[in-house]
Amino acid sequence: MNQTASAVSRRAFVAGTLGLAGGSLVSGCGGKASSSSDEVTFLNWDTLKGTPLEKAIRAWEKKSGTKVVVQPTPTADYDTKMRTLLAGGQPPDIMRINDDFVRGFSARGALLDLNKYIRKDKLDVTAYAKESFEFARQPNGQHTAWVLGYQPRLMFYNVDAFKEANVELPPTTWTMDGWKWDDFADRAKKLTVPGKRWGALVYYDTGYEQTFTINHGSPTGIFSDDGTKFTLAGSTESEALQWATDLTCKEKAQPPWSQLQQDGIDNQLFAQGKVAMYFATFGAVPYLRSTIKDFTWDVAPPPGDVQQRTESSVIVFTIPKAAKNPDKAWELLKFLASEEGGKILLEGGQFTPINNAVAAQLGAGDKSPAHLNLFGVAAKHLTAPNQTKNTLGARDLYRPALDDAYNCEKPVRDVLTGVKAQVEKALQG
């Protein structure tokens, strides 16, 4: 998504996917987040009726006899309210949390370690997508958050454009055979029609940083394992970003960076037939289904190089350490990650539930895209940036600096090495 977008908007779904309101759910009005033994308070950053998450929570209410009191907060104010409630010692029992904040709040001791529940219930954690499930595990071994689902990134493509240009279609399985970087760049150039259509758009979605560096052979991607080093500035990593940038600067097969300074422009350009292939998350699927009427589109894995993996955004909730009813809060989160709860969440068609058995059902009965199941297959090929104490601070430094590379003014390596010291200072927290 847009490099300049806020952290919340980068990780949030299209409005409404996880919104809650109406029905038997009770909407709170803020203030003290008290909770009795037969109710769970729930803080979320969207509030809309008729969502799959509302339906799943309603099913749990009926099953458990426990009321869920929802405290909706507009996205723009969410982080401020969340920090205030945590600092004031009156947090809700469950709250949505930006994935970039999990490490920092965990280090401060604000989030409950869920290991005791996982062990008590003898959960089979192999039932969950490994990379996404392990996201919440901290360096000290604590498991301080709960991932309900993930949004893998795949390559979306215009089937009709491929046929029109007489270009071989991407693979329909997770393979690098005939789908390596050179193959991708060659297709992008052939699909490009000056003044009408660009062949590809890779560098708009920020997930390309981790995906393409790992696929080029980087052992860590953006940050080191311990979260203190800015490994994106290394030679292997810079080469990967330079390859993506060269699709614009050398191959002229990707929209210029100056034309991409608008939220959601990647989805719009693809839906309008002005880009033949683009890298995006599962969250784009509902928009494309509702918007594209005049051509056929599909999805493929990202092109491989040394290996073939993809980054996934995670949908994270947590139980604050000061929660009044943590036991019931846990029961709700466990249900939402179960096969029963996951089947309800799958109806949203906008993310992959973390339960592997449910993810395997992805695409059954769907008409578009034809290979929607690849979002489920992606669970076996995920990568994620290593967590740090100050990921947002680091990104606020290096992403704007990369504009010089994306505008074809400086090599990627020069830009990243130029900000490395500042970024690593920020990573100290």
Question: 66-104, pLDDT tens digit by residue?
Answer: 999 988 777 777 888 888 888 888 899 999 998 878 988
Instruction: Give how far Cα 369 sits from Cα of 44, 229, 380, Å.
Output: 30, 39, 20
For 344-348, the CB contacts below 8 A with 24+ separation are 344/52, 344/55, 344/56, 344/59, 345/52, 345/53, 345/56, 345/148, 345/149, 346/52, 347/52, 347/55, 348/17, 348/51, 348/52, 348/53
7-39 per-position pLDDT tens digit:
333 333 333 344 433 334 444 434 444 455 689
Percent of the chain with pLDDT over 70: 89
Residue 71: what pLDDT? 81
- Quickly count: other Cβ atoms within 10 Å of residue 337's Cβ: 23
Q: CA 154, CA 301: separation in Å to the nearest integer? A: 5
DSSP-assigned letter for residue 109: T
**Residue scoring higher pLDDT (4 or 128):** 128
- Which pTM does this prediction carry? 0.80
Distance CA 148, CA 313 (A): 11
* Mean pLDDT along residues 336-365: 86
387 pLDDT higher than 50: yes
CA 296 from centroid of its chain's CA atoms: 25
> Quick one: average pLDDT of 360-369?
74
Q: Do 28 and 69 touch, CB atoms closer than 8 A?
A: yes
Lowest mean pLDDT among 68-72, 146-150, 399-403: 68-72
Partner residues linked to 70 by β-bridges: 27, 42
Residue 371: half-sphere exposure toward Cβ, Cα within 13 Å: 19
Domain boundaries, the chain: 39-150+314-379, 152-312+385-428
Looking at domain 152-312+385-428, does it have CATH number 3.40.190.10?
yes
Q: What is the mean pLDDT of residues 375-381?
A: 88
Is the Cβ–Cβ distance between 405 and 245 less than 8 Å? Answer: yes
Residue 52: band (very low, low, confident or very high) from pLDDT cuts 50, 70, 90: confident
Task: Establish whether domains 39-150+314-379 and 152-312+385-428 are of one fold.
Answer: yes
- Superfamily the domain 39-150+314-379 falls into: Periplasmic binding protein-like II (3.40.190.10)
Q: What is the pLDDT of residue 23?
A: 37
**pLDDT in the model for residue 27:** 44
Distance CA 315, CA 150 (A): 6
Question: For position 19, what pLDDT does the model report?
Answer: 40
Instruction: Using DSSP, state whether 360 is helix, strand or coil.
Output: coil
Mean pLDDT (whole number) for 362-382:
83
Please determine, for residue 263, whether its predicted confidence score (pLDDT) is greater than 80.
yes
pLDDT, mean of residues 379-384: 88
Q: What is the mean pLDDT of the chain?
A: 88
Quick: pLDDT tens for 187-211.
999 999 999 999 999 999 999 999 9
Residue 11 has a pLDDT of: 33
Average pLDDT rounded to a whole number, residues 297-326:
95
